[in-house]
Chains A and B, each alone.
Chain A
Amino acid sequence: IAGITQAPTSQILAAGRRMTLRCTQDMRHNAMYWYRQDLGLGLRLIHYSNTAGTTGKGEVPDGYSVSRANTDDFPLTLASAVPSQTSVYFCASSDSSSGGANTQYFGPGTRLTVL
């Protein structure tokens, strides 16, 4: 069982290019999340999805879009990358359907550099 996988591991991208970061989980979790992590700042939520077919905006959604066509996949798209989107991106998932802690589990991350 892989848990959560992300691709690519790292990427250098020219400003203005379109980029999709992939995230797949095999835990059948209903909820998925995209965060960015920048030095000196806490993880910031970009977008989330509580269940397949629904998405919501987090704290820093501008310049990003997501889709949730099925339970397992939650891609993040940068329509036209800008240097301020240089960051480490983490995908996470949780099972919010059974109550309790609803702990989030993280993928290995994608290190993105926009030049």
Chain B
Amino acid sequence: GQNIDQPTEMTATEGAIVQINCTYQTSGFNGLFWYQQHAGEAPTFLSYNVLDGLEEKGRFSSFLSRSKGYSYLLLKELQMKDSASYLCAVRDSNYQLIWGAGTKLIIKP
């Protein structure tokens, strides 16, 4: 079966750095996405990786290793507004997105 694993919850301090990991086992691979979802709101797109390596976008970076079935989202200079759930999703061989359950990130002052 297809599976996306992420930690359920993480806590970090304002101003710090946090890394959210995602491992996947899917039938085929056509890209990996990270989305941010604030409570009661819709998911919003953060990043896309299809090749191995690091993609940097401001305070957020995303890394992919296809051989290890592994990705992480790195958030720097954490702000209180970064408190949200972070969703990892993999596009499979049918070009459909398979979603992880999300990681709830709690930022403390």
In the assembled complex, which residues on chain B have CB atoms less than 8 Å from the CB atom of A58?
A: 96
Pair A45/B48 contact, Cβ less than 8 Å: no
Contact B99 A43 (CB under 8 A): yes
| Cβ 8 A contact of A103, one of B45, B96, B102 | B45
A102 and B98 alpha carbons, distance in the complex (Å): 14
For B, the interface residue count at a CB cutoff of 8 angstroms equals 21
Q: Which residue of A lies closest to B45 (CB)?
A: A103
B4 contacts partner chain A, Cβ-Cβ < 8 Å: yes
Residues of chain A lying within 8 A (CB to CB) of residue B42: 90, 106-109
Taking a contact as CB atoms under 8 Å apart, the answer to whether A45 and B97 are in contact is yes
Q: Please list the residues of chain A having a beta carbon within 8 angstroms of any beta carbon in chain B.
A: 40-45, 48, 58, 90, 96, 101-109
12 further A-B contacts with Cβ under 8 Å, apart from A42-B87, A42-B89, A42-B100, are A43-B97, A43-B99, A45-B96, A58-B96, A90-B43, A96-B95, A101-B31, A101-B48, A104-B45, A104-B97, A105-B45, A106-B44
